[in-house]
Chain A
Amino acid sequence: MIVVTTENVPGFRVREVKGQCFGLVVRSRGLAGNISAGLRSLVGGEIKEYTSLLEEARRHAVDRLVENADAMGANAIVMMRFDSSEIGQTMSEIVAYGTAVDLVPEA
């Protein structure tokens, strides 16, 4: 499954557009992680707990996006974008969305 942020994939053409697809996840760091992050924010520098939280959330969202595109019969996702928001004060919502397409090599 090719996942790109561009509209076109060099060397391929779009045979069929399957439609929009997205993968969404809401994650939290947990009690110990949030307390650690709060303490670390007092000192300054990278807040590793939240870095790993957001990294994992994006991976999880892309995994779900790919799974959904595969269920639609697509072999690629173009124009992939992320969007994020906060739920409560400790939870982060990440959505990865794009257009599921069927790509074939250009003749």
Chain B
Amino acid sequence: MLRAAVILAVALGLLGCLIAILTAAIPVWGPAIWLAIALVLMLLERRGYKSPEAGLPRPPWQATSERFVDPETRLPVRVFFNPETGERRYVADGEERT
């Protein structure tokens, strides 16, 4: 939610700069360009790494004994391992912990 507020603040700042440029002919091109770059970077930002998936995977995926509670979603997560590729997957396995 705080991230959304930051993005909104940058967008409003950019809008204000554009209005100032177009209506009052105030040359705030520098801040406008930087705010535009910041807004694009924020919107393209890659978030998260392997968020917990729903649904148990099928063989060759094997369940490991690793389990943890995802701090963002508060869901219990079980780790699965594919012995053919060496990959690991994180699968939500249970109800949200309060």
Contacts and interface: CB of A to CB of B under 8 A. Distances in A.
Interface in B6-59: 6-7, 38, 41-42, 45-50
A107 interface: no
A46 B86 CA distance: 34
B3 A32 contact: yes
Nearest to B47: A30
Helix, strand, loop or mixed for chain B's interface?
Answer: mixed
Helix, strand, loop or mixed for chain A's interface?
Answer: helix
Contacts of A93: none
A55 B88 contact: no
Interface in B35-90: 38, 41-42, 45-50, 64, 66, 71-72, 81, 83, 85-88, 90
15 contacts: A30-B46, A30-B47, A31-B42, A39-B2, A52-B48, A52-B72, A55-B71, A56-B50, A63-B50, A66-B81, A66-B86, A67-B85, A67-B87, A68-B86, A69-B86
Given A36-B3, A49-B3, A56-B50, 18 more contacts: A1-B64, A2-B64, A27-B49, A30-B47, A31-B42, A32-B3, A32-B7, A33-B47, A36-B2, A36-B6, A55-B71, A56-B48, A60-B50, A63-B88, A66-B81, A66-B88, A70-B85, A71-B86
